[in-house]
Amino acid sequence: MGKQAALTHPAAARAHARASGFELEDSLQRTLRGAARRAGRKPITLSLAIAERVPPRVGANQDRLNVVLEELLGNALGHTERGRVTLSVELVDLEYRDDDPRQLLHRMLQFGVHDTGPGIPAAECETLFRSFSRFRGAEAGKPRGVGFGLSLCKRLVESMGGTIWLESEAGQGTSVYFAITVTVPVRATRSKRSLDGVRALIIEEAPGVSDPIRELVERWGVLTTASSEPEEIFDSVGLGEVYDFVLADIRGVLTPALRCARAVRGSAMTRALPFIAVAPASGTRRGSWAGFPTVLSAPVEPGSLYATIHRLLGRPRPLPA
């Protein structure tokens, strides 16, 4: 893991000259939606894990970042038949440069793409970033992956002032990490927690399934309670539990979350609560979400969810940091 140090490259200045500012989480969610379409019907859960200190808006070469992420996610999905693929982001370094007239913080963000696939023997890991190198999978000796993608990722990451590396063991899955330098306006480093103290009821399919969306709203200061059982919800309300809004994370028709959401909407105890359903867009065409006043298509864009919560609670939305 010593590759996190000395993450500079002569092309970094050229990359930043073409960099632009963008909302990081929205961009990553769009990339994940594209990956989900490529996954097809595979029983794979795609998730996004963003560490708390990661700034919401960054300056970087977004096109190059997207190419790298799409390639790594495509490889992970291609090598994984079932299980989980996770995209993670964390802050690993911070520097303020007094001589920068733009008053920017220069940060190092580390991205990771983790899968639960078959893994790669240690002897092959170092060769995979060479052009036309392929991982020869265990099944029937067939080559897996592409022979050019990882070498392209390496060049693009280096052009953004970063480095890329891989960690894997046969039978234990694979994690590919890369770190790049981004810039952040100083004022954008302030935490955006304008929903501090707001209480939300999260309706989920099963315990833990809705953790990504739950963690998202908690970063905005929302206090959450999650359940998929109508009786449990009604008991808590009857005992004095107060919720400011309901967020139903519905994964399909005829599912526990959908049944629970309909029960909550139909009960006099909870009918008046502001209600947001996050559900597959395909259900809208069939009328599956009829009766829900606000439906956002899954996977939901953070910016859209944030604005919707403020609208339903009657709060003015703060200007982006």
CATH classification at residue 57:
3.30.565.10
**Alpha-carbon distance 263 to 261, whole Å?**
5
Average pLDDT over residues 139-166: 72
CA distances to 82, 98, 177, 219 from 105, in Å: 40, 10, 22, 22
Residue 233 domain flag? yes
Q: pTM above 0.75? A: no
Residue where a domain stops, chosen among 154, 189, 224: 189
Averaged confidence pLDDT in the chain = 77
Q: Is 178 helix (H, G, I), strand (E, B) or coil?
A: strand
Lowest model confidence (mean pLDDT) among 15-29, 32-46, 64-78:
15-29
Q: Is the pLDDT of residue 112 over 80?
A: yes
Percent of the chain with pLDDT over 90: 23
Looking at the fold, whether 216 and 256 belong to one and the same domain comes out as yes
Output 314 or 34, whichever has higher pLDDT.
Answer: 34
pLDDT at 286: 54
Looking at the fold, whether 209 and 113 belong to one and the same domain comes out as no
pLDDT at 31: 94
Looking at the fold, whether 25 and 82 belong to one and the same domain comes out as yes
Q: Is the pLDDT of residue 242 over 70?
A: yes
Looking at the fold, whether 115 and 146 belong to one and the same domain comes out as yes
Residue where a domain stops, chosen among 144, 161, 189: 189
pLDDT at 48: 92
Residues 6+ positions from 49 with CB-CB distance below 8 Å = 86, 87, 88, 89, 212, 215
Looking at the fold, whether 132 and 9 belong to one and the same domain comes out as yes
Residue 132 domain flag? yes
Looking at the fold, whether 72 and 180 belong to one and the same domain comes out as yes
Q: Is the pLDDT of residue 280 over 80?
A: yes
Residues 6+ positions from 10 with CB-CB distance below 8 Å = none
Q: Work out whether the CA dihedral 232, 233, 236, 237 comes out positive or negative.
A: negative
Count of helices and strands (H, E) across the chain: 10, 14
Average pLDDT over residues 232-244: 84
223-227/143-144 β-pairing = unpaired
Looking at the fold, whether 134 and 182 belong to one and the same domain comes out as yes
Residue 320 domain flag? no
Residue 194 domain flag? no
Residue 319 domain flag? no
Lowest model confidence (mean pLDDT) among 53-57, 63-67, 125-129:
125-129
Average pLDDT over residues 219-245: 86
Percent of the chain with pLDDT over 70: 74
Looking at the fold, whether 163 and 34 belong to one and the same domain comes out as yes
Any idea what the CATH number is for the domain that residue 213 is in?
3.40.50.2300
Residue 318 domain flag? no
Q: What is the largest CA-CA distance in the chain?
A: 64
pLDDT at 148: 55
Domain count, the chain: 2
**Alpha-carbon distance 27 to 14, whole Å?**
22
Looking at the fold, whether 218 and 303 belong to one and the same domain comes out as yes
pLDDT at 193: 55
Domain residues for 45?
2-189
* Token reading at 257: 């979350």
Residue 115 domain flag? yes
Q: Is the pLDDT of residue 140 over 50?
A: no
Average pLDDT over residues 279-298: 75
Looking at the fold, whether 7 and 74 belong to one and the same domain comes out as yes
Average pLDDT over residues 249-274: 86
Residue where a domain stops, chosen among 155, 189, 223: 189
Residue 236 domain flag? yes
pLDDT at 130: 64
Looking at the fold, whether 153 and 7 belong to one and the same domain comes out as yes
Q: Residue 186 — pLDDT band, cuts 50, 70, 90?
A: low
Q: Is the pLDDT of residue 54 over 90?
A: no
Looking at the fold, whether 26 and 105 belong to one and the same domain comes out as yes
Q: Is the pLDDT of residue 319 over 50?
A: no
Average pLDDT over residues 74-101: 76
